Every structure is written in C-alpha cells, then in structure tokens.
Chain A
C-alpha cells in the first residue's frame, strides 16, 4: 500500500514586521513545517508501522529552502519525498488551490497512492481547501477535518471522525482510495530521533518541474493586490509598566467588575 502525505513549509510572521507593497519581506518571516501537516505525517507513519508493506511518500510544492522542512518529515519516518518547483511558480505570490491540486493530482497519477493525507489547512494562506480539491481532481473519495481515522483490515474503507462545530463529531465511512484532511489533535506527533535525522540525510528528495509532471502552463486566476494590517476597531486599554504595576492595574479592573471585593 502507498500513502501520500502533503507537507507544506509555511511562513509565520514575527511579532514586529512591516508590509512592503503587497507582501511581507522574508526578513520578517520564519519558516516551519505546517502544524496540520505534522499530524498528517504522524498519521501516515503510524499506518506504516501498523501494517506490512506501506510506503509513505511526502510531496511538497516549494522552493529549495523547503527541503529543510521535508527532511523533518523524512526524519519522522516518511520513506521518500517529491518536491515540485518551477520558475513559473516563483513569480506567483498567492498560489491558488486549483493549481496546487493539479500539481498534486499529477503526482497521484504517477504514484497511485491508496490514501492521501493532507493537513486541514496551511497556517499561512489558510485556504483549507487543497485536500478536497485534489480528491475531486483525481476522482478519489475524501473526508475533510478528520480527527479520528480507522482503516479496515482489507483497506477497502476507512471509518473516520469528522470534527464538526460545537463539540459534535460525525462518524463517516469513506471508500478507499481517498484523501483525508487531518485535524490537529488526531494523534501525538513524534519528535524526530537522532537516528531518524541521520537516516533522513540518505533519503531521496526528487525535485520536479511542472513539465516533468506533464503540466503545460498554469491558469493563474488569483492576484493578491493589497496587504495591510487590519484596521482595528479596538478600544483596548493597555496597561504599561513592570509586572507588579500591570498586575495592580488588572486587580483594579477585577474590583471594578466586581469579580473580587475591593
């Protein structure tokens, strides 16, 4: 059995940052493995540990720099990785979901996995859509926002928990092959062991361009035209000073609110 897991290197902005034009320059960004994908990797690796003959492949769309993040997945037990990048992608500021889905679809057609795990969302762009769009592109079944996953012995079907709003969970049977978008909390992601990190150096990261995947040009339908810090309607009262002083101010608030007696 083959399991494909999509792994994104996401950008987080530092506490203080500036916007230049319609973007935040790299010097204010930190790059890391997307939190949701960390859980997706763990789910894939656990499946490989529970069963014989499971190969886990990680796929990413990202520049050379993203290999650092892919190595984390490899160190946790992913067998090999595919990284897709292209000059034509370099120029695009906001990669739309259909482009990402068609790239992953080409990988799915090449690798023919039985199961694909993606994260629910990428922490930076937060579309929350790539997994389901991929499933529809390749004719797989799917379930979004999965926080419980159980595969039938014969791998024909999975029973999943989908985390709905307000503490309600839906229990759903999904035919395989399928894509599952993995929610945080579904498992306890491992830390990479030293041995894992050493082994990861030997594992293969296959870099591909769009034409390697048989994709001829992409239709670019989204344009990020402006970026700004949200205008706040906030009328927050901020207390300043050292911790003793701010604590005293908060105690005054508690008294005013009647939470404690003055």
Chain B
C-alpha cells in the first residue's frame, strides 16, 4: 500500500537513460511513503538488464523476459500482474514514446488515476500524491493533487538525476504469465532516419528555425544568416512537418540530438521535445518576440524582438 513500482525502459539490449532516472524517483518516493522501491524490466535480456538497475535504495527488481523488441501488450499484462501481487500505491513509468503506449492502458485496467509528464513529486501519503507538471507549452507549472490509490504517474526524462552506485536489491524473475491470444500489436521492423545530405549533429554552429518564420519563402533570411556565419541550418518540428526542410534537419526528441558550440534558436518556443535535442549546446542564443517563451530559460543570450527585423540586421552586420 505504500510501495512504489517503476517500469524501466530498454532498447536494443540496453537500458535507456530514463531507467536510471526513474530508479532515483522511485527510491525518493518510496522513502517519502515509507514503503519499498520495486523496479520492473520487461523485454528481451530483462534478466541481465535487471542487474544493472541495482542501485542504492532499490529493494526488489522484477525481471520479465519477453522476446518482442517492444510489446505494449506484454508490458500491460506484466505490470498489471505485478500490481496485483505487490499492491503498490504508485506505479511510475517514463513519459517516453513507449511509456505513452502502455501506461494509460495499465491505469485503465487497474482503475488508477493517471497523471503524465510529471517533472516533480511532492507530498505523498497512503491516499494521495502531489505532483508538478507543466501546461500551455511549458509556460506555466501546475501543482496537481491526486487522491486515491493506486496512482499511475509517468515522469519526464531528464528531470531526476540517474541513480548511481551499487545497491542490495533482490533481482527476481517475476511470476508473470502472458495470454498472447489477446495481443493485437506486433512489431515487425524498424527504420532509421539517415543523415542524408548533412549531419546536423556534426555542425559547430547551428542556425535553427521554428514556426515563427511563418512561411516557407521566409526561410531565405535564415539561409542568408547561416551563410554569413558559415553555419548549418536546422529546425524545429513544425518546419519539417510542413515539408520546408528535410527530416534530417530536425532537432529534438524525435529528430537529432545536437551539441554544437553555438545554437541560435530563431522563432522557436523551446518545447520540451525540442529542448531534449539541443540543451547540450555550449552556447545558446534565442531570438523570439515572446519574452515568456521557455527557450529564454535555457538561453545564454537573447533578443526579445521580431525575427524579421533582427535576422536581416544580423546578416547585414556580419557582411
């Protein structure tokens, strides 16, 4: 009743970074609740990967071998059975593409309240939990009080430090059985985005353009600035969705992760999925006419002004 169960995430035989972050969130929350910290790993190589999660404060690691590279049906059945056996107060999963594919189904099955994309965990007791999450494109932070038990929470990547060190957890093969007759989704392959003409991950300076540019024809001023700087052009998602630049130019969660010396964000708001791909840049400059745009929380230098004035003036000043 005061325990926490968290689901790790693996891909291609390796734990993804969020697994170690969710492990520390689990230990932290179990501590607040005075309960046990359980972790589950589901998929191929679960037994090996379970051992890698054995950090300080983790009590039990439940491993569930399943041959599919990813199966939301297997995740759903495994976590629901573990929840029945362990009766946790809170179940944590990552707000990743795969977490978003199974966590809501688990909440529905066990009739739990669901809160997603949480960035901080607050007060917790046997009948509730308080969390912090963002709304309106990260412009506000909200506190949400959840009542009841059990509760399913998905956490945002990059918000908790990875759990480091070695612990004394029991690593057990979980007592889970699958009813594959109800499986209705089968992964049949993967396709990788190729670098194409340029690899923006290799660039030292990126001039990156977002929806603020409004129109395909206006991209010209971005190319001119990039030329004047000897920089490469990259973009946020809407530019690529609109077909104005190819997918290999997209920075962010579902595009490329870049770590240039200088990243110039022009007409980009700084949505979390964009930031995921560029927060490692050494220096960030933002040009945006909205002083509340979240990109300014990350930027080293900024200009709050119309990009259609600033960008041409900058190109001019460089020539």
Contacts and interface: CB of A to CB of B under 8 A. Distances in A.
Interface stretch (A1-9, A57-65, A133-141, A201-209): A133-141
Nearest to A246: B303
B304 A238 contact: yes
A125 interface: yes
Interface string A190-209: 00000000000000000000
A173 B140 contact: no
Nearest to A19: B140
Interface stretch (A71-79, A82-90, A163-171): A163-171
A129 B116 contact: yes
Contacts of B302: 236-239
Nearest to A139: B182
A11 B241 contact: no
A11 B136 contact: yes
Contact of A234 (B186, B298, B316): B298
Interface in A1-33: 11-13, 15-17, 19, 22, 24
Contacts of B97: 144-145, 162-165
Contacts of A161: 191
A107 interface: no
Interface stretch (B23-31, B58-66, B170-178, B256-264): B256-264
Nearest to B277: A166
B185 A141 contact: yes
Contacts of B148: 221
A92 interface: no
Given A185-B237, A228-B140, A229-B141, A125 B190 contact: no
Contact of B100 (A144, A173, A229, A244): A144
B190 A170 contact: yes
B267 interface: no
Contact of B105 (A17, A133, A233, A247): A133
A163 B247 CA distance: 12
A181 to B, nearest CB: 8
Interface in B298-313: 298-306, 309-310, 312-313
Interface stretch (A47-55, A108-116, A210-218, A253-261): A253-261
B289 interface: yes
Among B72, B253, B286, residue most surrounded by chain A Cβ atoms (within 10 Å): B72
A184 interface: yes
B70 A251 contact: no
B86 to A, nearest CB: 20
Interface residues of B, number: 96
A41 interface: no
B107 interface: yes
The secondary-structure label for the interface of chain B is: mixed
Contacts of B254: 163-167
B92 to A, nearest CB: 14
Interface in A216-230: 221-230
Contacts of A128: 95, 100, 116-117
B297 to A, nearest CB: 4
B146 interface: yes
A184 B237 contact: yes
A16 B290 CA distance: 8
A136 B188 contact: no
B205 interface: yes
B47 interface: no
Given A171-B190, A259-B262, A226 B297 contact: no
Contacts of B144: 94, 222-225
Interface in B105-160: 105, 107-109, 111, 113-117, 130, 134-148, 154
A96 interface: yes
A95 interface: no
A182 to B, nearest CB: 12
A22 B145 CA distance: 13
A259 B229 contact: yes
Among A126, A133, A145, residue most surrounded by chain B Cβ atoms (within 10 Å): A126
Contacts of A243: 305-306, 309-310, 312-313
A124 interface: yes
Contacts of B76: 136
7 contacts: A125-B135, A133-B107, A136-B108, A171-B187, A171-B189, A227-B142, A229-B140
Given A13-B136, A236-B301, A243-B306, 18 more contacts: A16-B292, A22-B142, A97-B107, A127-B114, A127-B117, A132-B102, A133-B107, A141-B184, A163-B97, A165-B254, A166-B253, A168-B190, A222-B146, A224-B143, A230-B297, A254-B262, A259-B205, A260-B318
Interface of B: 11, 69-70, 72, 76, 95-98, 100-105, 107-109, 111, 113-117, 130, 134-148, 154, 184-193, 204-205, 229, 237-238, 240-241, 243, 247-248, 250, 253-257, 261-262, 283, 285-286, 289-292, 294, 296-306, 309-310, 312-314, 316-318
